[in-house]
Structures are given as C-alpha cells and as structure tokens.
Amino acid sequence: MALPPGFAQEGTTMSHSPSTKRAVAVAAASLTALALSGTAVQAAAPDPTLRSEAPRDLKIGSAVWGQRDLLDHDRKNPTEFQQILAAEFDSLTPENDMKWAEIHPEPDVYDFSGADALMEFAQANGQEVRGHTLLWHSQNPDWVTEAAETWTCDEARDVLEDHVRTVVGRYAGDIYEWDVANELIQDEWDAGGVQLRTEANPFLKSCSEDPVGLIGDVFRWTHEEDPDSVLFLNDYNAEGINAKTDAYYALAQELLADGVPLHGFGAQGHLSLQYGFDESMQANFERFADLGLKVAVTEADVRMPLGEDGEPTPEQIALQAERYDKMLQACLNVASCTSFTVWGFDDGRSWVPDVFPEGYATIMTEDYEKKPAYDVLLEGLTDATPGKSPRTPPGLNT
C-alpha cells in the first residue's frame, strides 16, 4: 500500500518539522477514519468469476477441445480464450479428445496429444477434469464400426476392455468424474422407442444377448483402473422425469443390484428454446440421489432459431438466461449435485451451428462478451450455500 505524504518506509529517517508533524497527524487520522468506516484501503478485490463464487462442493466446468485450443498453451503468454477458461472454471471436460475417434484412431494406435494438453492445462490452473467418454454409439473410428459387423461378443469385449484400461489407466488419479457410458438409451420417437441402443452401439450390438452385462463390466474395468473416480451414466433429454429417464432409473437399479460401481447420473442439458423446459428436473435429480448416486449437469447449452440477421431477439436472450438459471437451481437444490458444466462457453466454438439450424447457445459471444445467461449463473452461484470458494483459487496460473 502506498504511504501517505510525510510517511517513510521502515528503516528510513524523516524530519520532524511542525509541518511534517501536522501532515502525519492528518494522515493518521484519515487512515483511522477509513478503518472505522469499513472503507477498503488495499487494492480492490478481483472481479468475481463463476469458479470463485461457486459453493465449495460444486465444480463449475466447461468443455474444451484440447487438440484445437490448448496445444499451443504458453503459460507466459496465454490466449484470451485460455485466460477466460482458467479464470472462470475449475473443471474441464474434453469435448472430443477422449472420444474413440480421436484417442484411438487405429487398432494399435492411441493418440493422447489432445487429452494430454488438456490435462496439463488443468493441472497448471488448479482445475479438475471430467473424463468423456468410454462407451458411446457415436464418433467411433471406422476400424471399430467396420470390424463390429463381424465381431463375436468376446472379440468386442477384448477391444473394449483394452481401450478402457489403457485410457483410464493413463489418467488414473487425475480425473474426478467419468462419463463412462454415454447415450445408451433411445428416445421415445426413435425406431423401436425407449430401449438400449443395441443396434447403433457397435459393442452392445456384438453383445446383444447381454448388453447390460457388458455395460456393467465397463464400469468395473474403469473402477479397477481408477478406484477414486466417480463413474456416471450420461445422456441428453434426461433432465426431467420422462420415459427415457424412467428407463435409466430402472437400469441404474439393475446395475446397483448387481454390484456394479455406478456412482452418478448426468443430464446433459442441451436445450432449445423451440421446446419448453421440464420443470421436473429437480425431482428427477432427487430420485437418482435417493438411489445413493451423485447427479450432475454435464453439457449445458441453450440454443435458439435466429432471424435472417443471425441475431436473437431480446425475448430470446431473456428466456435463454432463465433456462440456464433453472438448470443451475435444479442442481443447487440437490445436495448430491457435484458439477455443473457448460458445453463450451463462447459461441465461436459452439458445436450447435454445425448440427442444428440454431445458434447463440453459450454464455458468451464469439468476442467473449458476457450474456445475461452468464450473469444469472454468476448471481445464482453467489447466492448459493454453502460458502464460497476462494476468490483467487490456489494454483491459478495461466
């Protein structure tokens, strides 16, 4: 803190003329008045961030593609994106880096470059990592989808077990939650209705006589390689109580009864303003929590159809913020909710426009301008209990 005129640093001398004594007295009185009034005299506190305001027992995360955004990480000269990622979030999810096509592109080839870059960034910035994902019907390499046409169940199991043990074992101890099995169950409107994706998932198809047994083994292999990680089922359209989450509830009960190390249920939270919000989200989380499971919002974004100018209306912006807030409150109101993750924080990297004729789905614009959706999340976290995390997280180092 800068000293008032007439004060000297410790170890120096100063004169004691009458004018100096008066200056000292005035300065001392001013400091005393400030102290009594509660006015801060030290440097202003840093601006609050999502990670600084979150309850201590809730991780606030973002998906990030390490291969694209973190391979060039220079701690002394981080990009603006990297600075925001480090400041706002204490949890990272690999958007693509741990999916089969990226990390296991050939039968005997593993590419850990993107995942390693993400892990190194997280460790440098005091962040934890959610692993994503080990068993999924999508984004599998050609060698898997082609070989699966002729695999026996034993052959499929061997390939899957090697993959799980290799990937999980490499990062054991550094991943706090794993989306072990992703999007296992179809929607009501899919052909065949709500059921396991035994046709679309190459491994479940090869072991169609006992797909639940294979799912249980994937959890067991993951737990054996990393016994400290919390292991999740994860899916979209799984926010509220519906036919799909009823099926997941029954599957969770079956797995738990069989002694499978299932620890959590994740609702992705990919929402669209073209549809309503399911107000039973909290009740859905509560029923899974009653099974002894953790719950989480794992991939939140709120997309919307845009006009010819590509811009949202004020009403859409307000409704988007409301949807984000409702998802966060459903999590905050259930003690077993361990993490709230947005699926990327800026529109420039959002997956939405590449998949849907919609956009504006994240909490910041392409230029990192914070939207009202960001503001409501920050307010919700600030108001939440218990307690706040430190404003300057330990280990923060961009």
140-173 as b/e, with b when 16 or more CB fall inside 10 Å? bbebbeebbeebebeebbebbeebbeebbebbbe
Q: How far apart are CA 231 and CA 19, in angstroms?
A: 71
Q: Is there a contact between 339 and 91 (Cβ–Cβ < 8 Å)?
A: yes
**Which residue out of 183, 225, 239, 286 is catalytically annotated?**
183
CATH superfamily to which 58-293 belongs: Glycosidases (3.20.20.80)
* φ, ψ for residue 271, nearest 5 deg: -110, 160
Is 106 tagged catalytic?
Answer: no
Q: What are the Cα distances from residue 89, in Å, to 25, 27, 129, 260?
A: 47, 42, 11, 31
Q: Is there a contact between 298 and 268 (Cβ–Cβ < 8 Å)?
A: yes
Q: Is there a contact between 145 and 128 (Cβ–Cβ < 8 Å)?
A: no
Q: Is there a contact between 296 and 266 (Cβ–Cβ < 8 Å)?
A: yes
CA dihedral 50→51→53→56, nearest 10 degrees, is 140
Strand partners, 295: 265, 337
pLDDT at 386: 60
Tens place of pLDDT per residue across the chain (398 aa):
333 333 233 333 333 333 333 343 434 434 333 343 444 445 667 899 999 999 999 999 999 999 999 998 898 999 999 999 999 999 999 999 999 999 999 999 999 999 999 999 999 999 999 999 999 999 999 999 999 999 999 999 999 999 999 999 999 999 999 999 999 999 999 999 999 999 999 999 999 999 999 999 999 999 999 999 999 999 999 999 999 999 999 999 999 999 999 999 999 999 999 999 999 999 999 999 999 999 999 999 999 999 999 999 999 999 999 999 999 999 999 999 999 999 999 999 999 999 999 999 999 999 999 999 999 999 999 999 664 433 333 444 44
Query: Is the omega angle on the peptide bond into residue 133 within 30 degrees of 0, that is, cis?
Result: yes
- What number of H helices and E strands is found in the chain? 15, 9
Domain boundaries, the chain: 58-293
Q: How far apart are CA 397 and CA 5, in angstroms?
A: 36
Strands 59-64 and 264-267: unpaired
Q: Is 273 exposed, middle or buried (0-12, 13-18, 19+ CB in 10 A)?
A: buried
Token pair for 136:
């999924």
Q: How far apart are CA 107 and CA 24, in angstroms?
A: 78
Q: How far apart are CA 171 and CA 175, in angstroms?
A: 7
One-letter-per-residue 3-state SS of 112-173: CHHHHHHHHHHHHCCCEEEEEEEECCCCCCHHHHHHCCCCCHHHHHHHHHHHHHHHHHHCCC
